[in-house]
Amino acid sequence: QYNNGYYDANGQGGQEDEDVGEISGELYVGPFCSKNGRKIHLGVFLEETCSVEAPNGIYEATHYGDSLPYAKKSIVSSGCLSCKEPKEVDYQNYYDQQDADEATEVCTTLYEMAGKCEEGLDGYYPNRDVTGCSFIKDLKSSSLVSMPSANVPAKVFAGIFAVTTLALAGVSMTLFKRNRRQNVSLAGEPIIS
């Protein structure tokens, strides 16, 4: 609660000897990222850089119990937006029946700014945009060429390691058999080695 310039987080009436004390100065509302970093919320802060959070419930206390919008729900939606022109609700789509539905301004602007490669389209398109074709081809070709060449040194070292390991295993087996033949007892007595 907010009472006579004092904030009481327990809701028992603000007193000067409370833990939170007097809130002096202005409160600021600003965006902050959620703990997992996937959402953007609004919060109340004690200073204008929005780095020192105000006590919980201060917004509700100063705004007659109304909660801060987007305090729990993200400001930015993670879903897709429709590019289809919305219907005119006020006039039951009366003024929009004459033309075909168009794309919204947001989608049109995004498409205009995006890199495109419109070559090879069927039909007549007088203003084809092919400015992004070389960039897209470079992306495709560089990813195909760089990946196998990056593995060549690793494959060479793996092959050398395998061959040397097999050679050393063969040499050690030969030496082990030769050593075992030299220790054969002709008297038939067991040799403890």
Ranges 50-59, 64-73, 143-152: which has the least confidence: 143-152
Q: Is the pLDDT score of 19 beyond 50?
A: no
Q: Which of 5-19, 37-51, 63-77 has the lowest mean pLDDT?
A: 5-19
Nearest residue to 58 (alpha-carbon basis) of 96, 100, 94, 14: 14
Q: For position 185, what pLDDT does the model report? A: 64
Note the pLDDT of residue 173. 94
> What region does 99 belong to: left with phi over 0, alpha with psi -120 to 50, or beta?
beta
Beta strands in 10-123 (DSSP E): 28-33, 40-45
User: What's the rounded Cα separation, in Å, for the pair 114 and 106?
Assistant: 12
pLDDT of residue 92: 57
Q: 3 — phi, psi (to 5°)? A: -145, 115
What is the reported pTM?
0.36
Location of structure tokens 């087996």: 173
At 14 the three-state DSSP class reads coil
pLDDT tens digit sequence for 141-184: 655 444 555 688 888 999 999 999 999 999 999 999 888 877 66
pLDDT (average), residues 46-67: 88
pLDDT at 99: 61
The Cα–Cα gap between 30 and 72 comes to 14
One-letter amino acid identity for 20?
V
Q: Identify the band that residue 57 occupies on the pLDDT scale cut at 50, 70 and 90.
A: confident
Predicted confidence at residue 2, as pLDDT, reads 39
Q: Residue 132: exposed, middle, or buried by beta-carbon count in 10 A (0-12, 13-18, 19+)?
A: middle
pLDDT of residue 160: 96
Residue type, 192: I
> Which of the residue ranges 15-19, 62-66, 163-167 has the most confident prediction, judged by mean pLDDT?
163-167
